[in-house]
């Protein structure tokens, strides 16, 4: 099974493998192929200061945890997604967050959940 992972999931996992999201991530990675747009890496770098602040972990630990989590995600170049699907993702996210467009487009491309 393939699932698109967004930054919110990685953000939650940084708080620890013992959280509900963290446990699900580490238990499911054997049966689920996690994919994300390459944009995820950029978004995580932007969110890193908030992760450090909220987790109260040293920046180096947050960085290592992000890298560990990303090692289980296949990052996909968004350019492979047909324009028609990107347009549909833009329409579907019009009243949400524009940062969700690459994730929704990728879910449409793979016909899988986010």
Q: Residues 8-59: pLDDT tens digits?
A: 888 888 776 667 777 777 788 788 899 999 999 999 999 889 888 888 889 9
Contact 12, 22 (CB under 8 A): yes
Taking CA atoms, 67 is separated from 35, 48, 70, 90, in Å, by 15, 12, 5, 29
Contact 44, 100 (CB under 8 A): no
Between CA 98 and CA 88 the distance in angstroms is 13
Backbone angles phi, psi at 95, to 5 degrees: -110, 20
Convert the pLDDT of each residue in 54-82 to its tens digit.
888 899 988 988 898 898 899 999 999 99
Contact 103, 8 (CB under 8 A): no
């Amino acid at each position: 099974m393939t699932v698109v992972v967004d930054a919110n999931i990685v953000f939650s996992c940084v708080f620890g493998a013992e959280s509900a999201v963290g446990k699900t991530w580490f238990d499911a990675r054997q049966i689920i192929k996690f994919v994300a747009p390459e944009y995820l890496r950029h978004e995580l770098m932007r969110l890193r200061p908030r992760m450090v602040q909220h987790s109260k972990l040293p920046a180096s630990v947050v960085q290592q945890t992000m890298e560990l989590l990303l090692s289980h995600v296949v990052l996909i170049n968004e350019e492979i997604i047909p324009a028609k699907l990107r347009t549909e993702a833009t329409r579907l996210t019009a009243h949400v967050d524009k940062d969700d467009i690459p994730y929704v487009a990728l879910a449409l491309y793979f016909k899988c959940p986010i």
